[in-house]
Amino acid sequence: MGYWKTKVLPKIKKVFEKNSTKKTAAAEATKSFDESKEVINKEFEEKKTELQTKALVVYEASSTEIK
């Protein structure tokens, strides 16, 4: 039992401590990404009609080779 407490258990704790830090960082990164994704999607939806008309004008003005 002494070997378990002195050698094995500390190594197991280190493994889980590292993972918990990584999990926390990953969760924060995911949350940040989701928030920025929502902002970008919102901006895109607001400008969607304007961008569609501009894209259509550019497409119609392009040569037939591109079409």
42 vs 8, higher pLDDT:
42
Q: Is the pLDDT of residue 5 over 80?
A: no
- Find where tokens 């004008």 sit: 57
Q: Is the pLDDT of residue 1 over 70?
A: no
For residues 32-50, one letter each, b for 16 or more C-beta atoms within 10 angstroms of the residue's C-beta and e for the rest, the string is eeeeeeeeeeeeeeeeeee
What is the domain partition of the chain in residue ranges? 1-65
What tens digit of pLDDT does each residue of 9-60 get?
Answer: 787 777 777 667 777 878 888 888 888 888 899 999 999 989 999 999 999 9
- Rg (alpha carbons) of the chain, rounded to whole number: 27
Q: Which pLDDT score is estimated for 54?
A: 92
- Find where tokens 């995911």 sit: 30
